């Protein structure tokens, strides 16, 4: 290293003589202006990674809070899933069937009368208040078989009522279609 340093010091004038080609500074300034308004994708990648990690941390914290500590008053509602695996399966079955029926009712064409649809869906959601009261009773009397049976019966009744509503809606729809078909035959 000492020889290289010695050589550079002895020939310093030779190193200082070389100048960049003509227009070098203008080309350099032009390149700087082009890149001044853009940011590299390298930086965005780290920003997106940090955002994803932050979202995952927040969601996992909320999940842990919900599972471990529960509501602020320490009174968490017990569901059938908390009782046993058998009741968990029943609850999953009934809730999935009820959700399908809800979607079917929501997607049904009410012929520009959304008020009827809204009233129907509100009535069905009011049935959930009964279920919540049963949950409160079960929370205070864990394992009470009468309450568990009432909760299962609630699911069965709600599913039955929703099926009847859907059948009735299809009857109305088919009745309207046959009336329009009859009118078409008469007009011909």
Which of 146, 158, 139 lies closest to 91 in space, CA to CA?
A: 158
User: Over pLDDT 90: what percentage of the chain?
Assistant: 10
Write out pLDDT tens, residues 29-64: 888 887 766 655 567 777 788 888 988 888 888 878
Q: How far apart are CA 174 and CA 181, in angstroms?
A: 10
pLDDT of residue 39: 57
Tokens of 99: 């959700």
- Mean pLDDT, residues 91-108 taken together: 88
Residue bearing the bigger pLDDT, 66 or 107: 107
pLDDT of residue 157: 92
pTM (whole model) above 0.75: no
**SS (HEC) of 14-53:** HHHHCCCCCCHHHHHHHHHHHHHCCCCHHHHHHHHHHHHH
Q: How far apart are CA 48 and CA 112, in angstroms?
A: 44
Collect all residues with Cβ–Cβ distance below 8 Å to 161 and sequence separation of at least 6: 124, 127
| Secondary structure element (H or E) that encloses residue 37, with its range | none
Query: Does residue 181 sit in helix, strand or coil?
Result: helix
Query: Does residue 98 sit in helix, strand or coil?
Result: helix
Q: Is the pLDDT of residue 70 over 60?
A: no
Query: What is the residue whose two structure tokens read 């069965």?
Result: 156
pLDDT of residue 93: 93
Query: What is the residue whose two structure tokens read 């529960």?
Result: 70
How would residue 187 be classed by pLDDT, with cut points 50, 70 and 90? very low
Q: How far apart are CA 121 and CA 99, in angstroms?
A: 12
Q: How far apart are CA 58 and CA 46, in angstroms?
A: 18
Listed by start position, the domains of the chain span 2-36, 80-187
Write out pLDDT tens, residues 131-184: 888 888 888 887 789 988 999 999 999 999 889 888 888 887 787 665 555 555
Q: Is the pLDDT of residue 109 over 60?
A: yes
- Mean pLDDT, residues 99-120 taken together: 78
């Amino acid at each position: 290293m000492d020889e290289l340093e010695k050589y550079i010091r002895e020939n310093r004038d030779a190193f200082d003589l070389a100048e960049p080609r003509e227009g070098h500074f203008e080309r350099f300034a032009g390149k700087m202006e082009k890149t001044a308004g853009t940011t590299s994708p390298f930086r965005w990648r780290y920003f997106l990674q940090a955002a994803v990690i932050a979202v995952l941390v927040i969601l996992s914290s909320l999940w842990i809070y919900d599972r471990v500590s529960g509501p602020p008053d320490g009174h968490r509602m017990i569901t059938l899933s908390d009782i046993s695996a058998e009741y968990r399966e029943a609850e999953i079955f009934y809730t999935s069937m009820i959700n399908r029926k809800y979607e079917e009712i929501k997607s049904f064409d009410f012929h520009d009368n959304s008020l009827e649809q809204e009233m129907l869906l509100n009535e069905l959601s009011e049935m959930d208040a009964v279920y919540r009261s049963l949950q409160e009773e079960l929370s205070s009397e864990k394992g009470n078989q009468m309450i568990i049976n009432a909760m299962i019966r609630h699911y069965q009744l709600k599913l039955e009522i929703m099926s009847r509503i859907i059948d009735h809606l299809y009857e109305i729809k088919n009745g309207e279609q046959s009336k329009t078909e009859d009118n078409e035959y008469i007009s011909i």
